[in-house]
Structure 1
Amino acid sequence: MKEAKVTIDRDFSIAETDPRLFGAFVEHLGRCVYGGIYEPGHPTADERGFRRDVLELVRELAPTIIRYPGGNFVSGYNWEDGVGPVENRPRRLDLAWMSTEPNTFGTNEFMDWCQAADVEPMMAVNLGTRGPDDARRLLEYCNFPGGTELSDLRRAHGWEKPHNVRFWCLGNEMDGPWQMETKTAWEYGRIAAEAAKLMKWIDPSIELAACGSSSRNMPTFGSWEDTVLEHSFDHVEYISLHTYLNNYADDTPAFLASPDLMDSFIEEVVAIADAVAARRHSSKRIMLSFDEWNVWYRTRRKNEGRVKLGWPIAPPILEEIYNMQDALAFGGACISLLNHADRIKSACVAQLVNAIAPIMTETGGPAWRQTIFYPFKDMSTLGRGTVLQTKVDSPTYETTYYDPRGTSELRFPLPAVPYLKVSVVHNHDEDCVTIFALNRSLDESLSMKALVRGFDGLKVREAHQLRSDDLMAINTKDAPDTIKPSPLEGVEIRGEQVQARLAPASWNVIRLEVQKH
């Protein structure tokens, strides 16, 4: 059996996790909205058309903030189409997903849904086909109390009180050629700075995220962030990151190593943001908003998985079915986010329901949890608190991760991937220490010995694992519990040392209670 050692000390921390680290994403894409969170006539629908069964699963998943309405969709979206009497709202062609948008669900319905789900709204503005003035108009509609044309329009539409949206995204993936009205870094940087300026003149309390490059593999990556922040540094608080882990090469060890590239991506963007600050002799630090992340590859590569002919309403697209190995890679990404809590203050798993999502539904039928549901739930419910530094001494393996970019192939050598990937969080309010541990060995158990210093009288409150002998196993409508957590037996505490045997290819959570004397 392989053995890994972890050293943890109460006095050596990374940062407190920001509540917004545990966010998700709802876009007008496929069945995420229509047939997902919103389905009038469904047996569980409330009077507003919100699916109660989905709401129950969302509350269990426990996201804290939801990004809306896109995504690619937002770059062609007229927010005015989605407010006012539903019978007067226009149908539009959505060029992002080649669908027809009925606009029966819009800004105000989303705000009501957020309240029902007990989550904070995160709004994106269209800086593709529209610009700064339209952004400030939407902000005024949402946040200004009353007495102006747009605030009074909201009140006339039935929402007397302002929505008070605090977090705003300045467009989406504006360097992507797939984006409506793609821009150069210089063009976007100027527009983002002007939109931010106008929006903060109306509401100085808001926080803004400028678009980073669409992915680490874009030709624009690096120079894009540098130029955009050079323009917008004084006006924004965040730069965004997007990444989707894949297994195109059908190489499970490389797939499970891919979250380590996510670590590198984060650290590179931090370095770029801090370089901009250094040139300006500024003590301000731009934080990171990882507002799109997930595992996604099956429905991503072929056009038939992304588009249905005939401009349908809410077509079943991007409905990635996640298996056990996807959940393991996903758990690794959760650990990467936690371990960078000092700079990642917001993150959104993309997406929430049906489209590359932890929750699946059948239109008119049931809802169920996908395999990736469980690592996110663990992170969101047990990852609140102070992330502690960890020193990991683990056996390693070598692999190469494959990631396509258009017609070219990118390969990332990973010479020393630790079999154990781990994060540790101390919750002060409950005085608990939670260890999140991923064993990436496919065929051997891993003996983990964690030296936890500075906590007296630890005892195991709860321990569970997510694993299966079949890494291809999935959850379905008819078998929704094929993959679900099971108890992790045999966790022992000997003084300051916690010992556990982690099964091959397993996601593990050990929650330790600090004894009060």
Structure 2
Amino acid sequence: MKASTRISQTQQISRIDRRIYGSFIEHMGRAVYEGIYQPNHETSDENGFRQDVLKLVQELSVPIVRYPGGNFLSGYRWEDGIGPKENRPQRLDLAWQSVETNEVGLHEYMHWAQKCGTEVNMAVNLGTRGIDAARNLVEYCNFEGGTYWSDLRKQNGDEKPFAIKTWCLGNEMDGDWQIGHKTAEEYGRLAEETAKAMKWVDDSIELVVCGSSSSTRPTFVDWELTVLDHTYEYVDYLSLHQYYDNKTDNLAEFLAKSEDMDRFIKSVIAICDTMKAKKRSDKTMMLSFDEWNVWYHSNEETAAQKPWTVAPHILEDIYNFEDALLVGSMLITLLKNSDRVKIACLAQLVNVIAPIMTEKNGTAWKQTIFYPYQQASLYGHGQALTTKVDVATYDTNQFKNVPYLDSIAILNDEKNELVIFSVNKHRCEEIVFTVDSDLGLASVIEATEMADYDPKAVNGPNQELVDPRDSLERIVIDGGRVTINTKPLSWNMTRISLN
């Protein structure tokens, strides 16, 4: 099978915001305790953080991490996580029916993020709390000093402000599973007033307002319109959340679900632009896709867990090769919409539906989805180019005209290289993919593929069987054309130096 595209440096989608490769740490399951933090582990530092996990997070080059939730957020008192650890209360976390020790709080998390080299996307509780707690938290984190909350931060060990730029106004407030669930009108008014107060404390911050928790919610569209009607002039991003599964074990249908992600994004863009017209505003609302991933493998194990324990084993999906392929296509989809999607968070980072897994008394290891995420985060920087691929399509029960090949080309002008990501979704046919360009192709820097694996193949501790392999012999440059021979069911990454 053949596929082709023509790219040009004059046909650009957008400069990619690095935060599109963000992730998410929530106080749930073993994401924090036995994940990033475990004082008695052989690799832990003087503050109790696992250095084996830290190393893998650094390998991913995660630019921003959303914290502390998630559903956990809507019952969280941030004040519980400051001050001496021995004085911190243990609380019931109603969201995940577990016990939160508050051993890791705001300062500990900020120090960990600094070691990782990542920014923090902080979230404020608009479920059980509201304006006062949110503005106090901004003052505590970002104000220089001379006030009650900023001086309390100094007393607790951090003289300099944390200077957190990105903030979420609650989490999934449209969902009836959420503590403090609200109607669109209730949430819109609260988010509006909270946003105003937070920016009065620090007008440099950027705010993310809650959109629908999935495109399948019955309130989708109406929720966005009502919330934006209240908040459009006060916030900077509207959030999207979406997870996909393969419960029917239909591989073609599963790999087509990136089409649904694209449709969701474009629908939300249309909603935002409708509100822009209604408001007669000069401002264009950007998007934060701050929860996305594959999620379904662990549902039965999660349901069997005993309630009211610390760090229960919940949502610990073990990802297979076909999951990595869909994650690759979802990354491509985000990049194709990078003119509007500026922030995105793979949910989550460690142990909970995550690319990194840990054993309590053992090692940390890479799941299959680690690799497309890592390669995008490391090399997907610069200008996303319009990449319209001419290729055969297929139909499923849910989707029509699904391209057999997904691809995005990125011009990294700082490194003077072209990066091409592509996914071959065909189960048995190689796709010969030709890319014509005016960029002055010189030579291949690196080419890798994830291919030739059983779709159900998984990695495990000390057994990372599914990973990228060198594929230089499958790349040919001839003048202004590069030909990439993509194997059936493959994720491909090609880096080319430019003249």
Category of TM-score, reference length = shorter chain: over 0.9
TM-aligned CA deviation for residue 307 of structure 1: 6.4
Which residue does 1:417 correspond to in 2?
402
State the partner residue of 1:448.
Answer: 433
Calculate the TM-score normalised by the size of structure 1.
Answer: 0.95
Are 2:458 and 1:474 aligned?
A: yes
For 1:59 and 1:192, locate their aligned partners in 2 and report how far apart those are by CA, in whole Å.
34
CA distance in 2 between counterparts of 1:451 and 1:233 reads: 41
Counting only pairs closer than 5 Å after superposition, residues 197-208 of structure 1 correspond to structure 2 as 197-208=196-207
Q: Which residue of 2 aligns with 1:68?
A: 67
Deviation of the 1:461 alpha carbon = 1.0
SS in 1 for 2:474: coil
1:432 aligns with 2:431: no
Write the mapping of 1:39-438 to structure 2, written as runs, cut at 5 A: 39-300=38-299, 302=300, 304-306=301-303, 308-400=305-397, 413-438=398-423
TM-score by length of 2: 0.99
Does the Cα contact within 8 Å between 1:468 and 1:483 map onto a contact in 2?
Answer: no
Q: Note the alpha carbon deviations across 1:301-354, whole angstroms, 9 max, x for none.
A: x4x415622400001110000000000001000000111110001011000000
* Match of residue 469 from structure 2: 486
Secondary structure of 2:394's partner? strand
Question: What corresponds to 1:20 in structure 2?
Answer: 19
Pairwise CA distance, 1:107: 0.8
Is the 8 Å Cα contact of residues 421 and 439 (structure 1) preserved in structure 2? yes
Stretches of structure 2 that go unaligned for 5 or more consecutive residues are none
Deviation of 1:455 after TM superposition, in Å, equals 1.3
Opposite residue 86 of structure 2, the aligned amino acid is E
Q: 1:462 aligns to what?
A: 446
- Of 475, 479, 482, 1:498 maps to 482
Q: Which amino acid aligns with 1:432?
A: E
C-alpha contact (below 8 Å) 1:307/1:317 kept by paired residues = no
Structure 2 distance, partners of 1:59, 1:486, is: 21
Structure 1 unaligned blocks of 5 or more: 401-412
Letter in 1 for 2:298: T
Q: Cα 1:306–1:115, aligned 2, differ >3 Å: closer, same or farther?
A: farther
- Corresponding residue for residue 512 of structure 1: 496
Deviations 1:417-475 (A, max 9, x none): 000100111100110000100000011111111112x2124311110001233111111
Alpha-carbon distance in 1 for matches of 2:258, 2:108: 35
Greater share of strand: 1
How many correspondences in the alignment?
Answer: 498
Aligned-pair CA distance for 1:111:
0.5
Given residue 347 of structure 1, which amino acid in structure 2 is its aligned partner?
Answer: A
Q: Is the 8 A contact 1:324 1:468 kept in 2?
A: no
Give every structure 1 segment of 4 or more consecutive aligned residues whose post-TM-superposition deviation is greater than 6 Å.
Answer: none
How far apart in 2 are the matches of 1:310 and 1:126? 23
Counterpart of 1:493, as a letter, is I
Asked whether the 8 Å contact 2:441–2:496 carries over to 1, the reply is: no
Give the deviation of 1:297 after TM superposition: 1.1
Secondary structure at the aligned position of 1:465 is classed as strand
Q: Does the residue aligned with 1:391 lie in a helix, a strand or coil?
A: coil
1:220-253 deviation line (CA, Å, top 9, x unaligned): 1111011000000110000000011111111000
- Asked if 2 retains the 8 angstrom alpha-carbon contact of 1:354 and 1:360, the reply is yes
